[in-house]
Amino acid sequence: MSNLEEIVKRYKKIGGEIESLLQDTDKMFDNTNAAILDIDEYQKYLLVYQSHLALDKAHNYMKELSKTTFIEGYLKKKSNGRYAIGEYELSSGSSLDIWVEDEDSKAGGYYLFTRLEHRGDYYAFDKPSLELEGRKARIRR
């Protein structure tokens, strides 16, 4: 059975191949007129499209494995309505890790990779009901 570090190494190793496939797929989409495809080709096109979306999301998670912490602290809403960690201001679409308490975790919680979005106010995309003010967070690069 593989351990966590072996699995992480394997994910990092295939990341480049996946990135190349995603780029080639984007080019194929740009150069394909889906309206002229026959029924079987169109089904393949749609399946590749759905696979591309899922693979792109997975690839973004894989890239996180190679990042290190750039800034860590507590989210505070500034007078302009945006959140910041220290002096580092965030906006809609900003990726970050937010701390989520979990009594079942040995560490008492975990960092959740998510992004900030805005609809009336800022929220964590993957946990929209989570209170952001004063929440421990970090940015990794």
Give the count of beta carbons closer than 10 Å to the beta carbon of residue 80.
8
Instruction: Write down the pLDDT at residue 1.
Output: 58
Give the global pTM: 0.77
Q: Give the pLDDT of residue 132.
A: 98
Write out the chain's pLDDT in tens, 141 residues: 579 999 999 999 999 999 999 999 999 999 999 999 999 999 999 999 999 999 999 999 999 999 999 999 999 999 999 999 999 999 999 999 999 999 999 999 999 999 999 999 999 999 999 999 999 999 999
Type and span of the H or E element at 84: strand 83-85
Burial of 108 (0-12, 13-18, 19+ CB in 10 A): exposed
Q: What is the pLDDT of residue 45?
A: 98
Residue 114 tokens, joined: 């998510």
Q: Please give the structure tokens belonging to residue 115.
A: 């992004």
